[in-house]
Amino acid sequence: MHEDKEITIYDIAKHLNISATTVSRGLKDHPTINKNTRKKIAEAAHHLGYRSNTFASSLRSKKTHTIGVIVPRLNSYFMSSVLAGMEDAASRVNYNLIISQSLEKAGKEIANAHTMFNKRVDGLLVSLAYDTGNINHFAPFFRKKIPVVFFDRIYASEESTGIVIDNRKAAYEVTKHLLEQGCKRVMHLAGNLLRNVYSDRLAGYKKALEEHNVSYDEGLVHISTLDEKSGTAAAERILSMGKKRPDAVIAANDTAAVYCMIKLKDAGLLIPGDIAFAGFNNDPISKIIEPNLTTINYSGYDMGETAVNSLINHLNGVSSVRTTNTIILRSDLIIRASSLKNKNL
C-alpha cells in the first residue's frame, strides 16, 4: 500500500475480509462485535497505520472532547500542580487538554484564545496574564455558549465561572499574624493590581492594619512582577530605607519572598530578628530557605481538578455559569520560623 495514502476503515475491512460496518463498530469496542474480532481489527489497524479521523467525528457530534487551557506561564510549581489536577480530572471523563501559555502578555493570551476557538475546543480554562485589561477576546466563546472557567487569576463576569481562594481573608490572616508578633512596619510585595489575586491580597493587608490601628503607608507597598529579580530589587529598596526600614515583609508569592530574604541575609540582616517574612503558595522553595518561610497554602491540584469538573458540569448541563459564578477553595496559614519574632505566640 502506498505510504502516502491515508488508511481508512475500508482498507482494514478489505484486509480482514469483513464489512466496513464491522470494522467501525470494532474500533469503537461495540459490544455486538465479539472480543476476538475486535482484537483482530485493532491489530490490523495498528499494522496498516490507521488513524482515527477525529476531525470528521467531531463535526458529526459537534464535540471534540478537548479542553483548551491558557496559563500565564508553565515554569512555576503552582501552575504545574494545577495542570496535574486538570490532566487527572480530564482523563477520567475521556477529555484531552490543549495547553498554552501567555508568557504574562495580554497579546499572547489573545492569540492563544483565537487559536483555541479555531481548534473548536469544547470549553476553555484560563488564568489571566499579568497585564490583561479586559476579556473581550473571550467574547466569541460566550456568543457560542462555549463555557469559560477562570481560575486563580479571574475576571468577574456573568458569563463565566471563577475558581479562587479567599485572597482577602488569607492576606488578612498572615498580616494579623505578623502584627501579633509585634511587627509595626509591615511591607507588602504586591503584583499588578489589575489581577484579582493581588488586589484582594492588598485589601486583606489593609484591613488587618486598620483593625490593629496601624496606619497604611503607600511607601511600604512594592508592586512588581514578583519574580526572582523583583525579590532582589525589593531587598535593595529595603536596605536603602535606613531607619524607616520595615520590620516585616509579606510577599504575594513565595518566590519574591525567598529572593528578598536571600539578599537581606547576604547584607547581614537577621530573619526574623531584624525583619520577619511571609509568602503565598507554599512552593517547595519555602521549605528550603533558612529559616523556613511562613506562607499561605492552597492546593494547585485541587484548583485544577475543580476547574475541569466545573467545566464538564457546564458541558453536561449539570450547572450553569449563572448558578455557579464563583467557587471558593480552602487556604491555610502555615506558620514557620521566618515570622516568629515572639516565640511565645
Mean predicted confidence (pLDDT) in 300-327: 87
pLDDT beyond 60 at 59:
no
Mean pLDDT of the chain: 92
pLDDT beyond 90 at 133:
yes
pLDDT beyond 90 at 328:
yes
Distance CA 218, CA 220 (A): 5
What pTM value is reported for the model?
Answer: 0.82
Q: How confident is the model at residue 249 (pLDDT cuts 50, 70, 90)?
A: very high
Q: Which of the residue ranges 41-45, 97-101, 109-113, 287-291 would you say has the lowest mean pLDDT? A: 41-45
Query: Do the beta carbons of residue 189 and residue 251 sit within 8 Å?
Result: yes
Mean predicted confidence (pLDDT) in 284-298: 97
The secondary structure of residue 253, as a DSSP letter, is S
Chain segment 165-183, per-residue pLDDT in tens: 999 999 999 999 999 999 9
pLDDT beyond 60 at 222:
yes
The secondary structure of residue 296, as a DSSP letter, is E
225-229: long-range contacts at Cβ-Cβ below 8 A with a sequence spacing of 24 or more?
Answer: 225/104, 225/130, 225/191, 225/192, 226/189, 226/191, 226/251, 226/252, 226/253, 226/255, 226/256, 227/255, 227/256, 228/255, 228/259, 229/259
pLDDT at res. 320: 62
Number of Cα atoms under 13 Å in the Cβ half of residue 225: 12
Q: How confident is the model at residue 47 (pLDDT cuts 50, 70, 90)?
A: confident
Opening angle at CA 32, ends 16 and 18, nearest 5: 15
pLDDT at res. 215: 96
pLDDT at res. 22: 92
Residues 6+ apart with CB under 8 A from 210: 216
Residues 6+ apart with CB under 8 A from 117: 140, 141, 146
pLDDT beyond 70 at 345:
no
Q: How confident is the model at residue 324 (pLDDT cuts 50, 70, 90)?
A: low
Cell 488508511, located at residue: 7
pLDDT beyond 60 at 135:
yes
Distance CA 252, CA 280 (A): 5
pLDDT at res. 62: 66
Chain segment 183-213, per-residue pLDDT in tens: 999 999 999 999 999 999 999 999 999 999 9
Q: How confident is the model at residue 48 (pLDDT cuts 50, 70, 90)?
A: confident
pLDDT beyond 60 at 1:
no
pLDDT beyond 70 at 28:
yes
Q: What is the DSSP string of 267-287?
A: TT--TTTT-EEEEES--GGGG
Q: Which of the residue ranges 117-121, 226-230, 317-321 would you say has the lowest mean pLDDT? A: 317-321
pLDDT at res. 27: 85
Q: Give the domains, in start order, of the chain with CATH numbers.
A: 9-52 (1.10.260.40), 66-165+300-330 (3.40.50.2300), 167-298+333-339 (3.40.50.2300)
pLDDT at res. 49: 81
